[in-house]
Amino acid sequence: MCTLFVRVVQMHLNYLIVRVVHNSPLNFDYDGCFSGLVYKRNIRRSKVGPFAVHVKLTEEDYDIVRFLFPAYDIHEPEASQLVASTGSHVLTRREVKNCLAPTKYISNDVINYMADVFNETGSGRWYLPTYMADKAKIFMTRVAASPEIDWYSEVAPLCRLNRFEGQLSKCQQMFLPVHDYLGKHWFLLVVNVETKKAEMWDSLEGKAGKTFEDRRLALSTDILKFLDSVFGIEISKLEGDLFFQFQDFELIVPNNNPLQSNPYDCGVYVIRNMQYYGTSWHENFNSSDQRVRLLFEIIRHPKNVVIGYFKELMNIHKGPARVNPKRNIIEVSDNTCSSEFKAYVPSKSEIGLVVPHYSCYEKKASSSSTPVIKVIQPS
């Protein structure tokens, strides 16, 4: 009781300091919220899995986090179970747990999935996968020795450039996630076709040292030259004021470039800078909040074609279950069950496979190594 009284007094003192001394309607977002003269209810931290978050969670939110971030290590076949797929890019339970857990580095799989999600047919914003920048590094080592290489054909299948074919004159921005392998750091290159500028959104800009910054500038310059080679045929068809070359673009660091305060959130910044380009999305940044929100966006996005399959896996995980590693089977039982069937679990190699509910999808294992879920289904 005494502790509660002291806390209430302290919160009101904070309010007076903000309003009287500073004369400012500052917002205390997470602990004793004030907004101008209106006092808001205190928002406390919630502990869910490995995260301490300041966002309100539903019961389904808790179920998703508990399923994907269990206290135990995930082994095969569970580790390779698909949790998200756009048909072109997929994410497994292992990738989600290893990349989105607190203090972990975001992988190219997560970045590529989100880039695919952001792309909309007919839009002037092109979100390219990390493979494009990776190929640019190879381009600079091979172009002198093999100038005849058709670089469009080299990257088109992997980057699915056919969706942009014939649309270069309508392109407004290209978003290219870039990985500095030596610095183990992600940054974003935004090629603004409208302004003829290339923007480096580097969340460690000014913090990594001149050697690292010079290398990232060099990487960005090489990517611009690479884009000229990839889109060379389309560029040659541009006439008059529409004609340009990417390597002539001015390379800048935007004034509103947000900076990270830790060594591991660069991938989160790349994704959010693509998603909320040019906005102040980073104000009051909290790593756990961003990672949990990103997790829910990955799972619940309308482009996730395996959401039904994921929910079935999660429901099985909630019930009584035991793993039989010798038979590669998860056995689930319930006293109310009366019939039995086997449901095939897709592996990561089966990209884009849409699995309906278990009750309407049956497939026997072709071998003992095939992941199988043995379910006792209520009649």
- Domain with 142 in it: what CATH number? 3.40.395.10
Q: Are 137 and 16 in the same domain?
A: no
Q: Are 133 and 268 in the same domain?
A: yes
Amino acid letter at 74? I
Q: What pLDDT sits at residue 212?
A: 82
Q: Is residue 83 part of a domain?
A: no
Q: Is residue 200 part of a domain?
A: yes
Q: Is residue 317 part of a domain?
A: yes
Measure the CA angle with vertex 20, ends 19 and 22; round to 5°. Answer: 75
Q: What pLDDT sits at residue 310?
A: 93
Tokens read off for 15 = 């309010």
**Cβ–Cβ under 8 Å, residues 217 and 202:** no
Q: What pLDDT sits at residue 92?
A: 95
- Cis-peptide into 77, omega within 30 deg: yes
Q: Are 162 and 128 in the same domain?
A: yes
Q: Are 266 and 343 in the same domain?
A: no
Placement of tokens 């060099």 in the chain? 218
Distances (CA, A) of 31 to 8, 34, 40, 43: 12, 9, 10, 6
Q: Are 340 and 273 in the same domain?
A: no
Alpha carbons within 13 A on the beta-carbon side of 318: 12
Rounded Cα–Cα distance for residues 330 and 322 (Å): 6
Q: Is residue 19 part of a domain?
A: yes
Q: Are 252 and 325 in the same domain?
A: no
User: For residue 340, what are the β-bridge partners?
Assistant: 376
Give me Rg for the CA atoms of the chain.
25
Q: What pLDDT sits at residue 46?
A: 81
| Count of domains for the chain | 3
Q: Are 258 and 316 in the same domain?
A: no
Q: Is residue 222 part of a domain?
A: yes
Q: Is residue 69 part of a domain?
A: no
User: For residue 3, what are the β-bridge partners?
Assistant: none
Q: Is residue 186 part of a domain?
A: yes
Q: What pLDDT sits at residue 318?
A: 73
Rounded Cα–Cα distance for residues 311 and 295 (Å): 14
Q: Are 218 and 131 in the same domain?
A: yes
Rounded Cα–Cα distance for residues 332 and 338 (Å): 13
Q: Are 164 and 31 in the same domain?
A: no
Rounded Cα–Cα distance for residues 175 and 347 (Å): 30
Q: Are 345 and 312 in the same domain?
A: yes
Q: Is residue 28 part of a domain?
A: yes
Rounded Cα–Cα distance for residues 282 and 369 (Å): 46
* 3-class DSSP state of 134: helix
The residues of the chain scoring below 50 in pLDDT are 8, 14-42, 320-379
Rounded Cα–Cα distance for residues 321 and 332 (Å): 5
Q: Are 250 and 149 in the same domain?
A: yes
The pTM for the full model equals: 0.74
For residue 13, the enclosing domain spans 2-44
